């Protein structure tokens, strides 16, 4: 059985961004070769790979850069080919690449459905507005509670017990709030529509959100002027892989079932 861990890195290895003379950059599929017709009509020496749209032209002098470098350079807050095309990249190439990479339909995969709730995740937490300067990878098991996750998130934030914090499934916490409160705040709130953080496990959240690679969760605090941290699901781990990942010597800090395994600090 093929595990879909690191699918995104395979996809971003396959495609590169070509920066040419136009206002937008195009995407090149390095696994594909040009058809005979295309190379017959192209001028000059052959260029590697195949452009994902039929617009513009190619030139051997155009520079090819890795997708991640291009995204970082332009401060594009995406982990790969997802959602709408950024302004800097040709939208035809973008949507064709999403189709080619099959990222849209990956979720239809029945294997995935069966696994949700039993797998662990590597969640890359960032703060909105400074996503490239600082991030923390937290590995969670399905049984990791949101209380535990919250403890690890608070390690690298300035959040303390006085901050009301709420986790949600997407960007807009009002529409997608998990209605989970830190335990001590749950007691104060006395509102049964909320769940105590220690009563909600990552596996429950995963089942509710059908959480998989590329998805995001967010954490909103300071509700007057909402600020947020958010995370992207970077990898999915089978249960038997989790022990290895979590007991690695390089773990930065851990709780009973979860750990911060990597970080980038300014």
Per DSSP, helices labelled H in the chain are 7-14, 36-41, 67-73, 91-101, 110-115, 146-155, 173-176, 183-189, 202-209, 239-247
Measured from the CB atom, is 100 or 154 closer to Zn ion?
A: 100
Residue 261 CB partners (closer than 8 Å, separation 6+): 122, 137, 138, 139, 245, 246, 248, 250, 251, 252
Residue 31 CB partners (closer than 8 Å, separation 6+): 14, 49
Stretch binding Zn ion (CB under 5 A), from 18-26, 77-85, 99-107, 126-134: 18-26
CB of residue 54 to Zn ion, shortest distance in Å:
8
Regarding 26 and contact with Zn ion (CB under 5 A), the answer is: yes
Regarding 197 and contact with Zn ion (CB under 5 A), the answer is: no
CB of residue 50 to Zn ion, shortest distance in Å:
11
CB of residue 217 to Zn ion, shortest distance in Å:
32
Measured from the CB atom, is 90 or 209 closer to Zn ion?
A: 90
Regarding 93 and contact with Zn ion (CB under 5 A), the answer is: yes
Pairing of strands 135-140, 63-66: unpaired
Assign 3-class secondary structure to 90-137: CHHHHHHHHHHHCCCCHHHCHHHHHHCCCCEEEEEEEECCCCCCCEEE
Regarding 90 and contact with Zn ion (CB under 5 A), the answer is: yes
Stretch binding Zn ion (CB under 5 A), from 2-10, 90-98, 170-178, 237-245: 90-98
Measured from the CB atom, is 95 or 227 closer to Zn ion?
A: 95
Measured from the CB atom, is 81 or 186 closer to Zn ion?
A: 81
CB of residue 27 to Zn ion, shortest distance in Å:
6
Stretch binding Zn ion (CB under 5 A), from 7-15, 25-33, 131-139, 251-259: 25-33
Stretch binding Zn ion (CB under 5 A), from 39-47, 82-90, 99-107, 164-172: 82-90
- Report the alpha-carbon distance of residue 263 to residue 250 in Å, rounded: 11
- What tokens appear for 80 in the block? 């790969």
CB of residue 25 to Zn ion, shortest distance in Å:
8
Candidate residues 3, 48, 53, 251; the one interacting with Zn ion per rule CB under 5 A: 53
Number of chain positions touching Zn ion (CB under 5 A): 5
Residue 257 CB partners (closer than 8 Å, separation 6+): 140, 141, 143, 144, 148, 246
Can you give the binding site for Zn ion, defined by CB under 5 A? Answer: 26, 53, 90, 92-93
């Amino acid at each position: 059985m093929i595990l879909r861990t690191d699918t995104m890195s395979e996809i971003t290895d396959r495609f590169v961004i070509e920066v040419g003379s136009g206002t937008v950059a195009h995407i090149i599929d390095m696994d594909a070769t040009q058809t005979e017709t295309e190379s017959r009509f192209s001028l000059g020496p052959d260029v590697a790979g195949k452009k994902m749209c039929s617009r513009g032209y190619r030139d051997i002098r155009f520079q090819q850069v890795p997708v991640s470098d291009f995204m970082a350079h332009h401060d594009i807050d995406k982990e790969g080919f997802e959602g709408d095309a950024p302004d800097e990249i040709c939208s035809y190439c973008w949507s064709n690449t999403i189709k080619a990479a099959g990222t849209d339909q990956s979720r239809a995969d029945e294997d995935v459905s069966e696994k949700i709730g039993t797998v662990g995740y590597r969640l890359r937490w960032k703060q909105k507005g400074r996503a490239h300067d600082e991030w923390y990878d937290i590995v969670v098991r399905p049984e990791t509670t949101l209380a535990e996750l919250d403890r690890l998130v608070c390690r690298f934030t300035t959040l303390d017990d006085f901050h009301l914090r709420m986790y949600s499934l997407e960007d807009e916490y009002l529409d997608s709030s998990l209605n989970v409160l830190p335990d001590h705040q749950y007691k104060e709130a006395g509102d049964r529509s909320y769940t105590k953080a220690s009563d909600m496990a990552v596996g429950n959240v995963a089942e509710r959100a059908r959480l998989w690679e590329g998805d995001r969760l967010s954490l909103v605090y300071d509700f007057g002027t909402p600020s947020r941290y958010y995370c992207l699901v970077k990898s999915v781990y089978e249960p038997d892989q989790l022990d290895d990942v979590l007991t690695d010597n390089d773990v930065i800090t851990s709780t009973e079932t979860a750990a911060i395994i990597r970080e980038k600090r300014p």
